[in-house]
C-alpha cells in the first residue's frame, strides 16, 4: 500500500481504460463514429437544440496532470468532485491516487478533538487546521461515528489519516469499544477486542509496517507482569508479544499513544534509570535509546514523557524542585544516537508540569495538551500562551494531530 504497492497499482492505468460512452474514456474508433454534424467539447451542435453540450467524461488534459491537481485538494472537496463524472469518480477511488493525496496532505496537518460538553456529559468531535494564521471559524464539528451518545470518548492514536478512538458505553460505563475512524470521510470500523482487558492505564501505538504492508496496533501496560499485545489489522486478531527483559517498568503516563518513529513504537522505561524503550513493528524486537544526561540529573518531582514532532523522536521532562517548575524538550536528530539529543527549549511555567507536546508549527512554536491549573479540565496551549484556535478549556478533552486522507478503514482490515 506504500511505495511498492502504489507503483505496481499505478502501472499504465489510463492507457488501459477504453470503456464505452457510459464509462471513462472513449476510444478513437468510437469518436470517429460520431455524427458529422456534432462539434465536441462545449461547442454547439448542428441540430435544432440550442443547448451547449459538454463532454465532461472525456479528459481535456493528460491524466497525470489531472491527478496531480486533484490530489492537492482537501478531502471534503474531493468527495464532492466525485460527482462530476464517472471518470473523476474512478480516478479518485484508485489506491494510487489515494496515496498521492496522502503524501500531499502530510504537509498540512489537522487537529482532531474529542470534548465533553459540561451539560449532560455529551461528547462531541471537532476538527481544525493546524496553522497559526487560520481563524477560529474554520473549526468543523464532526459527525460522531456511532448512533448512540457515548459516556466517554478518548482519542488514542492516529496514522495516515486513520484515528483510534475509545468509546465507553453510556449504559455500562465499564464496557468500552475501540473504533478505527477516518474523521475526514466519516467511515469507521469496529476493532476486535484484545485478549486482556484495556483497563489499567494501557497505551496504544498505531503504525504502518512497510515490510508486511499491514497496519498494526501495539498495546502496552505499565505493569511488568502483564504482556503486551499486537493486532495486525489484516488478520483481525490480537496476539501476545514477548516481555521486555531486564525488569524494565513501562512509564506510559506521559503520552496519549505510543509515538511511532523509524517504524518502531516508543515509550519511557525505568530500571534503575530512565531510558527510551523501542519496539520494532516488523521484527518485534525491543531496543533502548539512552536519554540525555540532563534528564538523568533532574531532581525533585519529575514527569517524563516521549512524543514525536515533525517526524523526530522527542523527550520532554517537567521537574518541580523548590517550587520552581521547569519544562524541557529534547529532540533526537539522528535516530538511536545518544549524542544527537538536542535541547529544543526550556520554559519556566507551572502550567506545563503535566503536559504533552503534540505538534510543532512552521515558526517553531509547539502545541501542548495538558491540565490547565487556571480552569478545570484539560486544554490546549502553545509554548507562548493560550491556543487561540481552540480557546475552550472548561471541560475534559483529548486530541491528536492527524493527516486528512481518503484511506478507508474498511480497506485495511
Q: In the prediction, which pLDDT does 222 show?
A: 80
Q: Residues 5, 7, 12, 18: what is their CA dihedral angle, to the nearest 10 degrees?
A: 40
Q: What is the pLDDT of residue 35?
A: 33
**Predicted confidence (pLDDT) per residue in 84-118, tens digit:** 889 889 989 999 999 999 999 988 899 998 887 76
Confidence (pTM): 0.79
Residue 160 in this model has a pLDDT that exceeds 50:
yes
Residue 221 phi, psi (nearest 5): -105, 155
**Which residues fall within 8 angstroms of residue 11, CB to CB, at 6 or more apart?**
none
Provide CB contacts within 8 A for 54, sequence distance 6+: 41, 42
Phi, psi of 54 (to 5 degrees): -110, 130
Confidence of residue 409 (pLDDT cuts 50, 70, 90): very high
The edge-to-edge listing of strands for the beta sheet with 301-309 is 301-309, 312-321, 324-332, 341-348
Q: Cβ distance 1 to 405 under 8 Å?
A: no
Cβ neighbours of residue 281 closer than 8 Å, sequence gap 6 or more? 207, 208, 209, 216, 218, 260, 263, 264, 265
Per the CB < 8 A criterion, the answer to whether 301 and 320 are in contact is yes
For 255-305, what is each residue's pLDDT tens digit?
779 999 999 999 988 877 888 999 999 999 999 998 888 877 776 677 888
Q: Which residues contact 61 (CB under 8 A, 6 or more apart)?
A: none
What confidence score (pLDDT) does residue 159 get? 96
SS3 (DSSP) at 89: helix
Percentage with pLDDT > 90 across the chain: 33
pLDDT band at 5 (very low <50, low <70, confident <90, very high): very low
Cα 239 to Cα 237: distance, rounded to the nearest angstrom: 7
User: Given this model, what pLDDT does residue 315 score?
Assistant: 92
Place of cell 484515528: 163
Mean pLDDT of 227-253: 84
Top CATH class, 131-411? mainly beta
Q: What angle do CA 274, 254, 314 make, to 5 degrees?
A: 70
Q: Report long-range pairs for 166-173 (Cβ below 8 Å, ≥24 apart).
A: 166/198
Domain spans of the chain? 3-104, 131-411
For the stretch 138-149, pLDDT in tens is 788 888 887 666
Q: Which residue has the cell 464496557?
A: 175
* pLDDT of the residue at 55: 44
Average pLDDT rounded to a whole number, residues 238-257: 78
- Coil vs helix vs strand at 105: helix
Sheet holding 176-181, edge to edge: 152-159, 162-168, 176-181, 188-190
Amino acid at each position: 500500500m506504500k511505495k511498492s504497492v502504489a507503483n505496481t497499482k499505478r502501472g499504465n492505468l489510463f492507457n488501459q481504460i477504453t470503456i464505452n460512452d457510459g464509462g471513462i474514456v472513449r476510444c478513437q474508433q468510437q469518436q470517429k463514429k460520431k455524427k458529422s454534424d456534432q462539434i465536441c467539447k462545449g461547442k454547439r451542435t448542428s441540430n435544432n437544440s440550442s443547448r451547449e453540450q459538454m463532454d465532461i467524461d472525456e479528459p481535456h488534459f493528460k491524466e497525470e496532470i489531472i491527478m496531480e491537481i486533484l490530489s492537492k485538494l482537501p478531502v471534503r472537496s474531493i468527495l464532492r468532485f466525485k460527482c462530476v463524472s464517472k471518470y473523476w469518480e474512478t480516478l479518485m477511488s484508485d489506491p494510487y491516487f489515494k496515496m498521492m493525496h496522502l503524501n500531499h496532505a502530510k504537509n498540512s496537518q489537522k487537529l482532531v478533538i474529542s470534548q465533553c460538553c459540561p451539560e449532560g456529559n455529551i461528547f462531541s468531535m471537532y476538527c481544525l487546521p493546524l496553522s497559526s494564521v487560520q481563524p477560529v471559524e474554520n473549526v468543523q464539528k464532526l459527525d460522531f461515528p456511532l448512533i448512540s451518545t457515548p459516556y466517554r470518548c478518548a482519542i488514542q492514536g492516529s496514522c495516515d489519516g486513520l484515528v483510534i478512538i475509545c468509546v465507553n458505553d453510556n449504559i455500562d460505563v465499564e464496557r468500552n469499544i475501540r473504533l478505527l475512524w477516518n474523521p475526514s470521510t466519516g467511515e469507521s470500523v469496529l476493532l476486535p477486542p484484545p485478549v486482556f482487558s484495556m483497563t489499567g492505564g494501557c497505551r496504544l501505538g498505531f503504525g504502518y509496517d512497510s515490510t508486511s504492508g499491514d497496519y498494526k496496533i501495539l498495546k502496552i501496560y505499565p505493569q511488568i507482569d502483564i504482556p503486551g499485545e499486537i493486532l495486525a489489522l489484516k488478520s483481525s486478531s490480537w496476539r501476545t508479544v514477548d516481555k521486555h527483559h531486564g525488569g524494565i517498568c513501562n512509564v506510559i503516563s506521559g503520552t496519549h499513544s505510543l509515538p511511532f518513529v523509524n517504524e518502531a513504537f516508543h515509550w519511557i522505561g525505568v530500571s534503575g534509570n530512565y531510558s527510551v524503550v523501542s519496539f520494532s513493528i516488523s521484527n518485534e524486537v525491543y531496543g533502548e535509546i539512552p536519554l540525555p544526561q540532563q534528564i538523568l540529573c533532574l531532581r525533585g518531582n519529575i514527569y517524563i514523557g516521549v512524543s514525536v514532532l515533525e517526524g523526530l523522536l522527542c523527550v520532554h521532562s517537567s521537574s518541580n524542585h523548590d517550587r520552581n517548575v521547569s519544562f524541557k524538550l529534547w529532540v533526537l536528530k539522528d535516530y538511536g544516537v545518544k549524542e544527537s539529543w538536542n535541547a529544543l527549549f526550556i520554559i519556566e511555567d507551572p502550567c506545563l508540569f503535566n503536559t504533552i507536546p503534540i505538534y510543532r508549527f512552521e515558526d517553531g512554536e509547539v502545541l501542548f495538551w495538558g491540565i490547565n491549573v487556571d480552569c478545570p479540565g484539560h486544554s490546549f496551549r502553545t509554548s507562548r500562551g493560550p491556543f487561540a484556535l481552540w480557546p475552550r478549556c472548561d471541560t475534559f478533552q483529548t486530541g491528536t494531530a492527524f493527516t486528512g486522507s481518503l484511506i478507508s478503514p474498511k480497506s485495511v482490515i
